[in-house]
Structure formats: C-alpha cells, structure tokens
C-alpha cells in the first residue's frame, strides 16, 4: 500500500485529486451496480424489484441511523487532529469510534432482524418483505465497522483504501446478488406451489409470483452482505499492512494534549448526531415516498401487483441510472470535509472560498453532461441497459434528469457546511426539503393523480429546495458568492452541444446498426465532444487539469493535440 499522501497534510493541497480517485471508484461501483441490475431485473421481474427496492430503502435507513455518518464524523475528527500533529489523539478517535460502531451496529442489526415482520407489514404494506429484511440485517453491523475504517483512512488524507474497497464490495455484491436471486427465486416458487394447492388458478399463480419474488429479493440481498464483508476484510488487511507507519507517527507525536476516551466519545456523538439528522432528512423521502405511493395507490383501487411493479421500475431502472452520476458527487463530498476542516483548524481563511468554488465547479462539470444525456438518450439508454422499450421508464428518466445536477450540488453543499463546522444548517435545510417533498408528492398523487411520475417530480422539488437553502447557508457562513459563468453557464453550453451531437449520432447510426450499438457509439462520441467543449469554452483551466490523477500527463497530451485550456 502506498504511503504517499497519508498522515499530515502534504504541501500541495490535493483534495481534488483524492476526490477524483473516490469519484472514479464510485462511478465504477455504480456502473457495476447498473450492470448486475440487468440480470437481476430479469430474474426478479418488476414485482421482485419492487420488494427489493423498498426493503433496501429500509436497510438504508437503518444504516443512516446507525453508521452511515461514521466515515464523515471519523474523517472530520481525525483530520482535525492530524493537521496539528496530534497523531495519538487521532488514533484514539479511531479506537473510540470502532467500539462505538460495534455496539451501535450490533443493536441496529438485531433490531432489523427481530422486527423485520413489523417493518414489512407497516412500511412495505405487505408481509412478504420479511425475508429480504432478515437476510440483509447482518450488513448493518458489518457496514458500521467498515465505515470507521474508511473514515480513518480518509481522515489521514487518502481515499485509495475506500475506493478500492468500494470496487471490491460491488463486484462481490453483483456476483452473489445475481446467483442468490436466481437460486432463491426457484425455491420460493416451489414453496409457494406447495402452499397454494387447492386455490383457484388465478389466485394460485398470483401467490406463486409474489412469494417467488420475495424469496428472489432475499437472494439479491445476500450480495449486499457478502460485498460488505469482503470490503471489511480488505480494509482490515490494509490496516494491518499500514500499522507500522501508524506506530512510527505515534512515536513522533510531540503534542502535550492527550484526550481521554471519555472526552472523545461525547465529541464523536455530537459530531454524528447532526450528520445523522441531516442524512436522515435527506434520504428518508424515499421511504416516505414508497409508503405514501403504496397506500394512496391501494386507496385508489390499484392492485398490489401493479403498484409493486411501478415501484420496481422506479427503484430498479430509474434510480439505478440517476445514482450513477450522483456517485461522483459523493466522492468529491467525502474529500472536501477533511480539507475544509484542516483549513479552518489552521485558520487559512483565504483557502476556504477557493475550495468551495473548485468543488462546486467540478460538480457541475460532471453532472451537466449526465443531465442533458439522460434527456436526449433516455429511451436508447433504457433499452441498452434493461432491454426495456416501454416509454414509462424513459419518460421518468427524462423528467428526473435535472435531479442529477441538483442532488449532486446538494450533496456537496451538505459536506461543505459540515466541513465549515456548520452542523445544524444541513439538518434544518433537509427538513425544509422534506416538507416540500411530502406536500408536492401528496398533491401529485391525490390531486393531479399522475401516478409513479409523482415520485420523480417530487424529488426534483426536494432537491431544488435543498440546493437553495444550502447555498444560502454557505453564503452566510463564509461570505462565499457563487461564480456562474465559468462554473455553470459554460459547462451547460458544452453539455447542450454534446446532447445535440449525441442525438444526431444515435439517429444516424441506428439507420444501419442495431439500436444498442448506435447508443454505445453516441455515448462515446458525446464524451469526446463534451471534453473538447469544456476545454475550448474555458470551463476548465490548466491548473484544474493538473488537479486530476495523472493531470500533468493529461495536460501534456492536450497541448500536443492543441486542445489545452486557454486559461
């Protein structure tokens, strides 16, 4: 394991480099996730994906309440101590956090397993989700411990262990999920067949489909557990490999201040609570959305199998694609917290606004082409990945494409506020966004009755509110003023040009090639066109390019091709 960049801050501030590494890894994991979802959707069907999607959201909420905030909190506390040479206190934060994660992770894991039936009946609106919830319950404990290790490495200044573990986690997840779903779907169908003997044909077939789908969804959840366990074992191995370096740093610690575990634990909890609250408010809208959607659809007389199928399309197709570019935002968000924390601890106020400007500009750069691409290639992309020619999922993707930019911006601005030590603001802003989500979803489902599109459009409303309130809070906290021309306007112009070219390429090649091949060509051409566009329009500077992994080499190549930024 490379030691460069770990420990005290390097002379060159490389948070964009580290963010790029984590963003690339996050995109790879989401792409792998999208790829394995293709056979998973075909195995489980829309009904099985509906059960899988809602069960996963309940699991995600258990993670949020128990451990999802741990990487942020640990990286923030470790970075603050590392930046002033308090290596022993940083290591004490790690050990205290590990004990905390083991206890809290075990409690929530057991609670999810024991009360799985209650969650299934009251939050999923049916009882057959219990199998998936009980299978995935151990993952809550595993991810809690995993989060502390990731947060510790991030606090030391390197995102590489997190990035590598995320890729491994997703590879194992994909393999085990598909295999588990395939095997358990058949078992569930056989079990259902034995139970429905004597029922009329239609009722028996309905029971077999739903119970088979429930077993299949549980099989898909096995991948989440196996992937998290593989990532944890990898990080434990990396930590043991790096232990000698940590010990040498501990011996070099010359600071006189020693923090007791009794002092660290309240600080850890006080750091975790606002992150948990903001993340909960930020993510609970999905669970609330599923509950409201299921109850209102049922009240409107829509059969259970039908609204489960609609939920399956939303969770298994639309959300999967939207979440791929959002992974990049998560990567950059993770890298900005230690960087901003260090700047504040060392009272380097001049760096703060520059960092905020850089991170927001990069977020627009990576999200704008996805936003436009999802609009112009919605149907071809859905057919390419899920072999689904229906207009419904494509329309959902077009309607919700703007959330790629909005949620990316909201994710990063949340982390900026946390890095600025403004922990309450993301909580308050997320509450405003949640209220807007619930009101808009109710109006769209009950008053306008637009069905599953309400889930998509209410996310747009929520993300817009979150962006607005977060940016207002950042402006108050740091006097930061958003620069629009280079950061937003130019990337959007480049993305629109890219979109027009991609659409024409798709139409042209589809005349004599298969639709899927034409889509792949259109996407590849779009990437090249957008890259050239942002360089020629001045959305990227030479120093920005140098901030990427292997940035100097990339800049040399661009200069040879006469494509280097002019600024």
The answer to whether 418 touches 151, Cβ cutoff 8 Å, is no
Least confident of 232-236, 298-302, 543-547: 543-547
Q: Is the model more confident about 28 or about 197?
A: 28
Q: Is residue 10 part of a domain?
A: no
Q: Is residue 224 part of a domain?
A: yes
Least confident of 102-106, 436-440, 485-489: 485-489
Range of the domain at 567: 483-567
453 and 509 both lie in a single domain: no
Q: Cα separation of 117 and 104, whole Å? A: 21
Q: How far is CA 119 from CA 49, 123, 134, 246, 462, in A?
A: 17, 5, 11, 43, 25
159 and 171 both lie in a single domain: yes
Looking at residue 186, its pLDDT comes to 81
309 and 428 both lie in a single domain: yes
102 and 154 both lie in a single domain: yes
pLDDT tens digits, one per residue of 97-114: 999 999 999 999 999 999
pLDDT tens digits, one per residue of 492-541: 999 999 999 999 999 999 999 999 999 999 999 999 999 999 988 888 87
Q: Is residue 318 part of a domain?
A: yes
Statement: residue 542 has pLDDT above 80: no
pLDDT tens digits, one per residue of 162-193: 899 999 999 999 999 999 988 888 887 777 66
Q: Is residue 408 part of a domain?
A: yes
Looking at residue 61, its pLDDT comes to 78
Looking at residue 10, its pLDDT comes to 42
Q: Is residue 438 part of a domain?
A: yes
DSSP track, 273-322: HHHHHHHHHHHHHHHHHHHHHHHHHHHTT--HHHHHHHHHHIIIIIHHHH
Please say which residue of 482, 513, 528 terminates a domain.
482
Neighbour-count burial of 562, counting CB atoms closer than 10 A to its CB (0-12 exposed, 13-18 middle, 19+ buried)? exposed
pLDDT tens digits, one per residue of 346-392: 666 777 788 888 888 888 998 999 999 999 999 999 998 888 788 99
Please say which residue of 453, 482, 511 terminates a domain.
482
| Collapsed DSSP state (helix, strand, coil) of residue 64 | helix
Phi then psi for residue 196, to 5 deg, are -100, 10
Q: Cα separation of 140 and 119, whole Å? A: 15
Q: How far is CA 237 from CA 163, 165, 450, in A?
A: 15, 11, 51
CB 549: neighbour CB atoms within 10 A? 13
- How many domains, in total, are found in the chain? 2
Q: Cα separation of 152 and 290, whole Å? A: 35
427 and 563 both lie in a single domain: no
238 and 320 both lie in a single domain: yes
439 and 506 both lie in a single domain: no
The overall longest dimension of the chain from CA atoms, in Å, is 79
| Mean pLDDT, range 220-224, rounded to an integer | 91
468 and 499 both lie in a single domain: no
Please say which residue of 482, 499, 522 terminates a domain.
482
Q: Is residue 1 part of a domain?
A: no
368 and 281 both lie in a single domain: yes
493 and 373 both lie in a single domain: no
Q: Is the model more confident about 178 or about 290?
A: 178
Q: Is residue 194 part of a domain?
A: yes
58 and 70 both lie in a single domain: yes
Q: Is residue 529 part of a domain?
A: yes
Q: Cα separation of 404 and 409, whole Å? A: 8
Looking at residue 399, its pLDDT comes to 96
514 and 473 both lie in a single domain: no
Looking at residue 195, its pLDDT comes to 53
């Amino acid at each position: 394991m490379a030691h460069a960049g770990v420990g005290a801050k390097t002379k060159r501030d490389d948070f964009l480099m580290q963010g790029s590494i984590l963003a690339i890894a996050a995109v790879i994991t989401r792409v792998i996730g999208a790829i394995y979802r293709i056979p998973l959707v075909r195995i489980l069907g829309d009904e099985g994906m509906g059960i899988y999607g809602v069960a996963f959201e309940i699991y995600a909420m258990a993670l949020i309440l128990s451990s999802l905030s741990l990487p942020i909190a640990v990286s923030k506390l470790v970075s603050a101590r590392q930046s002033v040479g308090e290596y022993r206190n940083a290591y004490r934060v790690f050990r205290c956090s590990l004990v905390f994660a083991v206890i809290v992770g075990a409690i929530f894991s057991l609670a999810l397993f024991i009360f799985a039936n209650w969650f299934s009946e009251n939050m999923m609106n049916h009882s057959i989700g219990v199998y998936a919830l009980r299978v995935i319950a151990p993952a809550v404990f595993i991810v809690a411990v995993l989060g502390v290790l990731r947060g510790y490495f991030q606090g030391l200044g390197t995102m590489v262990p997190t990035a590598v573990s995320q890729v491994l986690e997703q590879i194992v997840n994909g393999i085990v999920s598909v295999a588990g779903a395939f095997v358990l779907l058949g078992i569930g169908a056989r079990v259902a067949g034995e139970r429905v003997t004597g029922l009329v044909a239609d009722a028996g077939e309905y029971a077999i489909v739903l119970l088979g789908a429930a077993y299949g969804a549980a099989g898909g959840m096995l991948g989440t557990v196996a992937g998290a366990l593989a990532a944890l074992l990898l990080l434990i191995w990396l930590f043991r490999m790096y232990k000698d370096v940590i010990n040498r740093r501990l011996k070099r610690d010359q600071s006189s201040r020693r923090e007791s575990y009794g002092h660290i634990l309240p600080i850890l909890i006080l750091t975790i609570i606002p992150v948990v609250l903001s993340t909960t408010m930020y993510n609970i809208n999905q669970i609330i959305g599923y509950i409201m959607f299921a109850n209102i659809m049922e009240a409107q007389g829509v059969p259970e199998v039908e609204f489960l199928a609609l939920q399956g399309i939303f969770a298994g197709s639309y959300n999967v694609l939207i979440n791929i570019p959002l992974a990049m935002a998560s990567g950059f968000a993770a890298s900005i917290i230690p960087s901003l924390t260090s700047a504040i601890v060392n009272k380097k106020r001049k760096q703060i606004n520059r960092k905020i400007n850089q991170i927001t500009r990069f977020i627009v750069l990576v999200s704008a082409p996805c936003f436009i691409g999802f609009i112009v290639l919605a149907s071809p992309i859905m057919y390419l990945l899920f072999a689904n020619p229906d207009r419904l999922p494509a329309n959902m993707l077009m309607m919700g494409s703007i959330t790629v930019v909005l949620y990316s911006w909201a994710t990063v601005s949340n982390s900026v506020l946390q890095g600025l030590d403004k922990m309450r603001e993301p909580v308050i802003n997320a509450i405003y966004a949640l209220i807007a989500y619930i009101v808009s979803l109710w109006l769209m489902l009950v008053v306008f009755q637009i069905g599953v599109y309400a889930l998509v459009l209410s996310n747009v409303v929520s993300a817009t509110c979150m962006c607005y309130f977060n940016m207002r809070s950042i402006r108050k906290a740091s006097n930061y003023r958003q620069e629009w021309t280079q950061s937003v306007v130019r990337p959007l112009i480049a993305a629109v040009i890219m979109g027009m070219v991609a659409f024409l390429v798709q139409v042209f090649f589809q005349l004599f090639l298969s639709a899927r091949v034409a889509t792949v060509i259109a996407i590849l051409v779009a990437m090249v066109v957008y890259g050239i566009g942002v360089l020629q329009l001045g959305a990227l500077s030479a120093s920005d390019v140098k901030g990427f992994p292997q940035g100097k080499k990339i800049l040399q190549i661009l200069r040879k091709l006469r494509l280097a930024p002019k600024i």
